[in-house]
């Protein structure tokens, strides 16, 4: 598994929301175990999601992130898993994962096949994603992924943001590009909302992290 940090280490308190998930991820009436593994450092290894069978046998390991150019900057693949959600799409089980860059933006939302760990599709966001829930936002009978994040690819402190993704994201209707704000979003969101920067964040020089 490379140079990884155990989910019991203190750094997981900040970086990882879902350390271990025990659930029937594939609909076979047997519970699997998902473990978020964190790299020791951004240049040492990449964070990954490990899937174990109910028997303890290793099923697969998905490695987060990739070298990415975003907003005119290129980032090394140092990503740490934060969120794991078990989703359904037309009765088909899927996994929705979020990994944040170890230091900077962007974040990766990856939709995985729970049987194999193969990535079906991913979405990139210009800033850390802090939390996310599955809910039927548009009343179509399918769950969407609603996430809270910070959008900060440019100068300054950035802005708190809410986004909604279809599962997978490509199922969202095409929207006109925001040509006046290049790099504002990852593109492909069902809905996206930025909040004004609070005066207290300006005064204290603090990032407007959504709570």
How is residue 98 written in tokens? 């979020």
Task: Supply the pLDDT for residue 71.
Answer: 66
Q: Look at residue 173 and tell me whether its pLDDT is greater than 90.
A: no
Q: How many residues does the chain have?
A: 211
User: Chain-centre distance of CA 48, in angstroms?
Assistant: 12
Q: Sorting pLDDT into bands at 50, 70 and 90, what band is 202?
A: confident
Q: What is the pTM of this model?
A: 0.88
Asked whether 48 and 57 are in contact (CB, 8 A), the reply is no
Collapsing DSSP states into helix, strand and coil, what is residue 163? strand
Q: Which value, in Å, is the radius of gyration of the alpha carbons in the chain?
A: 17
> Residue 2: is its pLDDT beyond 70?
no
Using CA atoms, how far apart are residues 172 and 166, in angstroms rounded to an integer? Answer: 6
- H/E segment holding residue 149: strand 144-151
């Amino acid at each position: 598994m490379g140079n990884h940090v155990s989910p019991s280490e203190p750094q997981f308190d900040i970086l990882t929301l879902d350390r271990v998930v025990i659930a029937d991820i594939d609909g076979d009436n047997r519970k699997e175990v998902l473990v978020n593994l964190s790299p020791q450092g951004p240049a040492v290894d990449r964070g990954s999601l490990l899937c174990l069978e109910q028997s303890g046998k290793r099923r697969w390991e998905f490695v987060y992130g990739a070298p990415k150019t975003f907003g005119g900057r290129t980032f090394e693949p140092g990503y740490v898993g934060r969120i794991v959600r078990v989703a359904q799409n037309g009765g088909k089980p899927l996994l929705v994962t979020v990994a944040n860059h170890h230091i900077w933006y962007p974040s990766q939302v990856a939709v995985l096949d729970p049987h194999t760990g193969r990535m079906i599709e991913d979405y990139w966001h210009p800033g850390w994603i802090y939390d996310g829930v599955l809910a039927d936002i548009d009343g179509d009978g399918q769950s969407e992924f609603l996430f809270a994040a910070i959008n900060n690819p440019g100068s300054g402190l950035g802005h708190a943001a809410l986004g909604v993704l279809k599962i997978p994201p490509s199922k969202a209707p095409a929207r006109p590009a925001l040509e006046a704000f290049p790099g504002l979003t990852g593109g492909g969101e069902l809905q996206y909302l930025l909040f004004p920067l609070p005066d207290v964040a300006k005064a204290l020089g603090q990032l407007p992290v959504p709570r």
